[in-house]
Amino acid sequence: MATPEFDLFVIGAGSGGVRASRMAAQCGARVAVAEDAPLGGTCVNLGCIPKKLYAYASHFAEAFEESHGFGWSGPAPSFDWNLLKANRAREIGRLNGIYGRLLVDAGVTVLDGRARIVGANEVEVNGRVYRAANILVATGGRPVVPVLPGHELAITSNEVFDLAEFPRRLVVVGGGYIACEFASIFRGMGAQVTQLYRGEQVLRGFDDDVRNFLAAEVRKKGVDLRTNADVERIERDVGGLTLALRDGSSLAADAVLYATGRSPNTAGLGLGDIGVALSPNGAVIVDAHYATNVAGVHALGDVIDRVQLTPVALAEAMALVDRLFGQGLRSVDYELIPTAVFTHPNIGTVGLSEAAARERCGAVRIFRTDFKPLKHTLSGSTERTLMKLVVDAASDRVVGLHMVGADAGETVQGFAVAMKAGATKAQFDATVGIHPTAAEEFVTLREPVAP
């Protein structure tokens, strides 16, 4: 039988790979995609979607407690970990099916198996070699656990959604957004959570006011957040796990979750065999058009380790497909990418931190407020909200917008559009707020804080 021919062969059916496959097929290209795991990649199966579902679940105990101030009473609710896992699994299975139907309906050939590049324009799957004019590597990344005594006893974000037993004592190691989110999520579900971070403050790279404010808020909610703390070894004992820390202290835990970084999934793909250049951490090196140094081989998404966000992978996929099979007019602007962190409370941010703005713009004006939201005047909660604007003094453009508070991601998404359009502080001031909302604070901040 003749070897099948494709215009595009995609390795990996995650967010970027699925989008590239569908859009290329809709442009008339002959497309195949290979995947050896459930369709949808990390985001659908082990990342954004299940994490957000668990974040929703983790708010209910707090919400029931807060309801008393609004006249509600009744027996305390109970939490069923196994029911949550089952409901999540059913929803993820539904999404896997949707992804499969989208690909098939678009005319994409879906191959169930691990792919390996075996030669120029050749990919092998399940012992069969396929030829393609273009190959796209969209294999994403994976969590990594540093090597230390007992590291095999730790879990990662891949396993945390399906633990056989709910961890009543959870230690989270790491200070990035994934670590902070899971610390909040499991604390909200009722676990005793200790978060260890070896640095001075969590969420490196975020605005300092956001970092410090969030750390204070999660501690108020019961997360034992310890900075300048590091693990020396992990041991199993009759009561569970024991962590020995470098300061000589120890911690008991039912589970230890490491969220200390992710590594690009490039091992075993045959990239080195054909001369594709990789960075020291294994990421595929690409140019501005997602082309590698080997003709016909492209890469995008987390595997290029540029901006590890699902919407960014989708945008990169659209740009690549347009270049290969369209008019070549699309590009990805990596400035002003909004993002959210689903801690308790949430973080929403877009643009530059204050420190980055001072370095890039020179003179800046800072507008900042923190307050008790209207809801919590009756709820009994001590949670507060932070809002901050960073303004380039020379142009009056708002170059950074940051929020810590309920539904921060929902709020910041709209402001990201305004900032993308070049909104100035004067235009913020001229905008009528929606009252009573937290979001109106962004258009009523009048006095800059002292420099």
pLDDT (tens digit per residue) in 37-54: 999 999 999 999 999 999
Same fold for the domain at 5-142+263-325 and the one at 151-260? Answer: yes
Mean of per-residue pLDDT scores for the chain: 97
Q: Do the beta carbons of residue 203 and residue 216 sit within 8 Å?
A: no
CA atoms within 13 A of residue 232's CA, in its CB half-sphere: 8
Give the closest residue to 138 by CA, choosing from 326, 330, 310, 262.
Answer: 310
Alpha-carbon 142 to chain mean position:
12
Express each pLDDT in 280-330 by its tens digit. 999 999 999 999 999 999 999 999 999 999 999 999 999 999 999 999 999
Sequence spans of domains, the chain? 5-142+263-325, 151-260, 339-443
Q: In what order do the strands lie in the sheet with 250-253?
A: 231-237, 240-245, 250-253
Is pLDDT at 149 greater than 60 in this prediction?
yes
- The torsion angles phi and psi of 361, rounded to 5 degrees, stand at -100, -20
Q: Is the dihedral of CA 271, 273, 276, 280 positive or negative?
A: positive
- Mean per-residue pLDDT, 191-195: 98
> 450 falls in which pLDDT band (50, 70, 90)?
confident
Angle of the 81-105 helix axis to the 48-67 helix axis, nearest 10: 140
> 2 falls in which pLDDT band (50, 70, 90)?
low
Q: pLDDT value at position 154?
A: 98
d(CA 136, CA 6) in angstroms, rounded, equals 12
404 SS3 class:
strand
Residues with catalytic roles: 435
438 SS3 class:
coil
Express each pLDDT in 371-392 by its tens digit. 999 999 999 999 999 999 999 9
Is pLDDT at 1 greater than 50 in this prediction?
no
Q: pLDDT value at position 451?
A: 75
Output the CATH code of domain 339-443.
3.30.390.30
Q: pLDDT value at position 355?
A: 98
Output the CATH code of domain 5-142+263-325.
3.50.50.60
Q: Which fold does the domain 151-260 belong to in CATH?
A: FAD/NAD(P)-binding domain (3.50.50)
> 3 falls in which pLDDT band (50, 70, 90)?
low
> 28-64: buried (b, 16+ CB within 10 Å) or exposed (e) per residue?
ebbbbbbbebbbbbbbbbbbbbbbebbbebbbebbee
Give the closest residue to 24 by CA, choosing from 135, 140, 139, 141.
Answer: 135
Distances (CA, A) of 51 to 105, 163, 184, 428: 29, 14, 11, 33
Q: pLDDT value at position 261?
A: 93
- Name the E strands within 188-334: 192-197, 224-227, 231-237, 240-245, 250-253, 255-258, 262-264, 297-299
